[in-house]
Structure 1
Amino acid sequence: MAQLTPPYARIAADLRRRIAGGELAPGDRVPSTRQLAREWNVALATATKALTALRQDGLVQARPRVGTVVAPRSRRPAQPDRPAPSGGPATAVGDPAAGAQQRADRELSQERVVRVAVGIADAEGLAALSMRSVAARLGAATMAAYRYVHSKDELILLMADTVFGELRLPPHPAAGPAPEGWRDRLELGARALWRVHRAHPWLAQIGPLTRPLLLPNLLTYSEWMLGTLDGCGLAPATALDLNALLYSHVLGLAIQRERETAAESSTGLTEDAWMVQQAATLASLTASGAYPAFARLLDALGDDGYDLRLDGLFETGLAAMLDGVARLVEGP
């Protein structure tokens, strides 16, 4: 009796057909794992395995904060790489897929597991992350990944410390000379932290402010900020409070980036496309007369409208907070 085609293979075949037929062009977003799981009524791990098969064939690629997109034609191999029998284990000779998985298992390392996990969280949000999805992306067995990371919680902490390693603060060679003034030093630290959260917005979801993450690379940031505040003649508790407030300013905005990533992944709508859908509701609310200040401000903006940008909010909030610090440091 003929074997049934596995669900992940059917999903992958359908996506290959859509790519080959031009329905999905280079750069187009491929349905997310959540969308595929819902459409095909399969588990997230099955949808992840289908996308992994397409990545291995060079047909799609992951882009941070965008998701999985169709790869440029120039980057696709003429034929998908297929493992050739090499006289290894019998399962590898009789089943190329099993042989490929065995090789993937042998090539695993903690660094590879963490880096792949970071890529999943960057592209699809932290909710899409699981040990199974990481193993599927690596083409390895789930239990093989557990040899290097014991749990999802441990994996997330390793991911966080890895990306906090992207902070560039003196004496790091890429940071340049350290500024002398306290305000310039705090700005440098806050902007470095914002860049890391901007690139990895899921960071804002992994722990409450009241339970600080004791990670070496995050403590590097805190040492820079606290060292600066400690030199301003502030009470110890005040210095710690200000460090927490500046940190929470970054977290508060980064959470919005993470929520946007999750919303776009689940709905397939960009922020702009979603706003277009809300145009009629917005017009009805502003015309009702119940919200005069809101309507007046929107009307004053004219055709350009209001363009909410988190980078601008970060800079506005940072300047206001540092003005407040200046009053504490320098007096009224």
Structure 2
Amino acid sequence: MASYGVAMATATRVIGQLRDTGLVETRPGLGTVVSGGTAPPDRDRIVRVAITVADAEGLGAVSMRRLAGEVGLPTMALYRYVEDKEDLVRLMTDRVMAEHPPPPHLDPGVDDWRTCVEALARLQWAMYREHPWLAQAMSFTRPPLAPHGMAHTEWTMRALDRCGLDTSTQFTAAVMIANYVRGTAVNLEEEAQAEQETGMTEQQWMEAQQDRFAAVLATGKLPLMARFMAGDHEFGLDLLLDYGLQRLLDGLAAVMKP
């Protein structure tokens, strides 16, 4: 103030803004000093940190207060970078989708439609397995306006565009496939949380329930279930996804026009 003739109100406002962005901090006995930590975060880093937290602990663990602590900012300072929690989740979703673009080795305008649609569905399944929280964040009634996610829909529509389907059917089919994958993937975060809470994998939990299963089946009221359980059958989300995906693609093939 003395050196540059800055008004007290202006200096106070500037110091407050510097403190909010983490460039300065208040220390007892010293006053306001330049922060000794890393450079202040930008929106890209905030989104990456939020994804890291969600991957490790689920989407519910991503609060503005928690995120502020992770990046070293006051909670209110986060709103300089994101509008609110909904905006943050949208940015997280778009970042993940950007890292999982449609299969580059396929051209939906040239290659077989079924090969393309199946490849994209499996890519999305792998994406949900890598980020189990993402299925909870996605919605097909109020979809996040994530450009890279919309690019997935456009890619599927391109694959169907040469099959004699009108644009409305192309869009409906693209969303149907994506929603099926997402609907199956909703179980992933719940399973991850259950494993953390119980310390047992899905297989270990099933084995621990054998006596209960046996008691229910012993009533004789579920003969087909009993026959299935008596066999050596594999079952899991991957098998469930594959079976349903193939039936959906069979159904689409049936409405293709020559």
Cα distance, 1:177 vs. partner?
A: 4.6
> Which runs of structure 2 are paired with 1:287-326 in the superposition (5 Å)?
287-301=218-232, 306-326=233-253
- Aligned mate of 1:142, from 75, 96, 101: 75
Instruction: Report SS of the residue matched to 1:146.
Output: helix
> Which runs of structure 2 are paired with 1:230-249 in the superposition (5 Å)?
230-249=161-180
Instruction: Report SS of the residue matched to 1:311.
Output: helix
The AA in structure 2 aligned to 1:103 is G
Distance 1:100 1:269 in 2: 48
Cα distance, 1:189 vs. partner?
A: 1.8
Is 2:153–2:175's contact at 8 Å kept on the other side of the alignment? no
Number of the residue aligned with 1:262: 193
Number of the residue aligned with 2:130: 199
Is 1:108–1:145's contact at 8 Å kept on the other side of the alignment? no
Number of the residue aligned with 1:14: none
* Unaligned runs of at least 5 residues, structure 2: 1-23
Distance 2:235 2:60 in 1: 25
Cα distance, 1:285 vs. partner?
A: 1.1
Change (3 A) 1:92 1:185: farther
- Superimposed CA distance per residue, residues 29-78 of structure 1 (whole angstroms, 9 cap, x where no aligned partner): xxxxxxxxxxxxxxxxxxxxxxxxxxxxxxxxxxxxxxxxxxxxxxxxxx
- Superimposed CA distance per residue, residues 151-203 of structure 1 (whole angstroms, 9 cap, x where no aligned partner): 11111000000000122326xxxx22536111111112212222212211222
1:229 correspondence with 2:160: yes
Change (3 A) 1:264 1:282: same
Task: Work out which of the two has the higher radius of gyration on C-alpha atoms and give 1 or 2.
Answer: 2
Number of the residue aligned with 2:8: none
Instruction: Report SS of the residue matched to 1:103.
Output: coil
Is 1:198–1:257's contact at 8 Å kept on the other side of the alignment? yes
Instruction: Report SS of the residue matched to 2:227.
Output: helix
Distance 1:218 1:191 in 2: 15
Cα distance, 1:139 vs. partner?
A: 3.9
1:279 correspondence with 2:206: no
> Which runs of structure 2 are paired with 1:30-41 in the superposition (5 Å)?
none
Change (3 A) 1:220 1:273: same
* Unaligned runs of at least 5 residues, structure 1: 1-87
Number of the residue aligned with 1:167: 100
- Superimposed CA distance per residue, residues 89-111 of structure 1 (whole angstroms, 9 cap, x where no aligned partner): 672997xxx9897635x421111
Distance 2:74 2:63 in 1: 13
The AA in structure 2 aligned to 1:163 is V
> Which runs of structure 2 are paired with 1:1-332 in the superposition (5 Å)?
91=27, 103-104=37-38, 106-169=39-102, 175-178=104-107, 180-301=111-232, 306-329=233-256
Report 1 or 2 for greater relative contact order, CA contacts < 8 Å, sequence distance ≥ 6.
2
Instruction: Report SS of the residue matched to 2:256.
Output: helix
Distance 1:203 1:146 in 2: 22
Distance 2:131 2:114 in 1: 26
Change (3 A) 1:145 1:300: same
What number of residue pairs does the alignment pair up?
233
Is 2:25–2:35's contact at 8 Å kept on the other side of the alignment? no
The AA in structure 2 aligned to 1:326 is A
Cα distance, 1:135 vs. partner?
A: 2.2
Distance 1:311 1:190 in 2: 12
